[in-house]
Structure formats: C-alpha cells, structure tokens
Amino acid sequence: MTLDKVLGDSTGARNVMNLILPIIIVAVFVAQLSELVLKILNLHSLEQWYRRTGKDGDLTENRYQYQRALQHLALFSASLNGLIYLLFLALRLPAWLFDQLGQLFGQHRMWHGLAFIAVLQVARSILQLPWGLYRRFVVEERFGFNRMKPKEFVKDVLRSTMLVLVFGLPLLWGLFRLMDAPVMWWLWGFLTLAGYQILLFWLYPIFIAPLFNRFVPLSQDGKQGLLRLRLEQLLDQCNFAAKGLFIMDGSKRSRHSNAYFTGFGKIRRIVLFDTLIEDLDQEQLAAVLAHEIGHYRKKHIPKRLMQSLFWLFISFLGLYLLSGWQSLFVSFGFEMAVGQPNPALLLFVGMVLSSPPGLILQKLGNHLSRSHEFEADAYAVRVMGNSKSLTEALETLHRENLSNPAPHPGYVAQYYSHPPLPERLAALG
C-alpha cells in the first residue's frame, strides 16, 4: 500500500505532498554542504602542512601549489554546480522540460522519456565541461602534466559520444521497455543491467580501450626485453596467466602514470603506462605488478563486482517502491496520469533521492577499496621477499604525481579509494 492510499485525499495528505519537494531539497543541500565542508577541511589540512614544511625546496612548493589549485577548483566548481542543481529542482524546471518535450513527441512515450534523459545528460556534461577544460589545459598544463592537444580532447569527446549512442541508447531503450511492463519489471531491469555491466567488463580491454589509447606488447629486445623477462618470471612465480603484457601510450594525454590489469578468464591483460616505465626501475615495476596480481589473488575484483550488483539490486527495488507514490512525482511538478509513471521520470526522481544515501555508500565502498589496497600491498611484499621495491615505487609515484601530502582524514574516508602514502608505508613497515 502506498503512502497516497494511507493518507487518502485529506488536507493532511495535501500538506504532506506540499512538503515532499522542500524536504528533498533540504536533504540534497545537506549532502552537498557536507561535501563542501570536507573539501574545506582538506584544503585547510594542506595549508597547515605547507606552513610546517614550506621551506623544504621546489618539490614541496610545486606539490603545494598544484594541490592548492586542484582543491580550489574542486571547491568552486562543486559550489556553483551544486547551487545550479538546487535551483533547477526548486524551480521545478525538470517538469517544465518534460512538458516541453511532450509537445514534440506526443504519444511516443519511450522517445519522450529518452529525450528527457538525454537533455539532462547533455546539460550535466555542459556544466562539467568548463571545469574539465580548466583543469587539463590550465592547472595540469601549468605543472607540466598535460600532454593533450585540444584536437585530441575533441576526438575523445566524439568517441565517448559515439560509445554512448552505440551502447547507452539501446540499453536505456531496453530498460524503459522493461520498466513499462506490469509484472516484475524491477527484477528484469536489474538482471539486464547486471548482464550489461559484465558484458562491458569483457568488451572494454578488447574493443573500447583501444579506441582511446594504443596498446603494444612489451618488446622482447633491449631494456624492455629485460623488463619483460623479469615480469614474466614474476607471473610464473605467482602462477598468474595473462593474455599479455602491454604498454599504453598514456603519455600522449598526461605525465601521470599508472598500471592495471583488466578483463577476466582468457582475456586478462596487464597494462603498464609508458610514463610508469619511465619513472620506475625494473624491481619497482615488478613490485607494482605484484600488487596488481594481489588484487586478483585476493579476489578483489569479483568482490567489488558483487558489491556493485547488490547495490544495483537495491536501487531497482527502491525504484519499484517509488513507482506507486504518485504524490512524489506531483511534488516535482510532473502531471501524473493514472498508472505507472514514465520510466524516465522514475529514473530521474530515483537519482535525485539517491544523493544523500549515495554519500554513505561511497564512504563504505571506499573503505572496502582501501582495505583491498592494504591486502594487495601485503601480497606484493610476500612475493617480492621484502617491502623495499614497493616502498620505493610508491614514494616515486607520490613524488612524480605531486600527490596530496596531507589529506584530511574525513576527506580520505569519503573520497579516497587508495590509502594515503603515510598509511601505506606504515603498513609496509
């Protein structure tokens, strides 16, 4: 039984309906405010660190200025975009947009819903675009990290748009069709999206990643040949089978470095950024690879996948429970006919309501991720026989990437998927 049926058509019911949107806006505001407070605390922590160590040389100065620029940008962009979002809800502009699109698409329910979500997504991308451009072509450029040309940026945007059209549009259409079904649509929707996630996990290393970067096998000659022998020796030691060792041309976009393995089963592949090979020596690279293998040995990827699928299941169940609450949609300004709401409206309202609990889920997910990093570090130390190479690798990457030297604990708990360097070094001993 829905809340509407419980309250009936009484004055109390109308009063409750009038309060729904203000309560939601207050909840979203509180969630945004908590994020801003954490960003301010993180910036304050950086300022305190600089006052203690500001005379330690150019590296300290560069790290401070880089992190300060990033954090000011994050604080300003979150404040402005958050204000725009709250006004968008308070003025009931989603309902106005939905009505305007309804005049274009008439009785074509699915296309009406798809257009609504598409316009919202485009608007969101436009709001985020200036901050992304400023970060890359101003902040990252100033500190020598950016290596991307504007032409390549445009190409990336076009490739991403193409992927959305090829993969996202059919998926959304299929979900909307399922959500219009009268029976068990939430379960079928969950199963469809879960299968889609697993499919993308398989497709990514083979078809999607090569659209953005060039992957070449680690050479068997020269310095790369020696590195390949060492890493293959490590793979044998760990009894880890992979499709191959690849170098990714990450340097064409950024000087930041990384390594990862992707895929599953027979298509597992290990990827090293070319910048990582420039920054680390052979044993340090082996330690980094041992850490990545540790994630596999500890079954972190399936654990995170199961966690994601669990929250996805809860989300679809929540959408089902919301679908019968007509007053909720009316409070947003949507004109509701008898029956199930347009799937696009259900998806939009569900995403708005997910904002406050999403912070809790993000914090829990990052806590789990940080614990996985500690476990992978411990595995790497056991395989390498000591912590020296991994410690040196982490310190080098921290230095070369100008990572935050003193993040606030609250900020770490909410946003960091990896433990801060001091915590990792303390655990390594």
Using CB atoms within 10 A of its CB, is residue 239 exposed (0-12), middle (13-18) or buried (19+)?
A: exposed
Distance of CA 32 to the CA centre of its chain: 17
SS3 state of residue 175: helix
Sign of the Cα pseudo-torsion (295, 297, 301, 305, in order): negative
| CB neighbours of residue 225 within 10 Å | 12
Name the strand (E) or helix (H) holding 134. Answer: helix 109-134
Place of tokens 């200025």: 65
Cβ 89 vs Cβ 28: under 8 Å: yes
**Cβ-defined contacts of 221-229 (< 8 Å, 24+):** 224/277, 226/282, 227/277, 227/282, 227/285
Using CB atoms within 10 A of its CB, is residue 1 exposed (0-12), middle (13-18) or buried (19+)?
A: exposed
Known catalytic residues are 292, 377
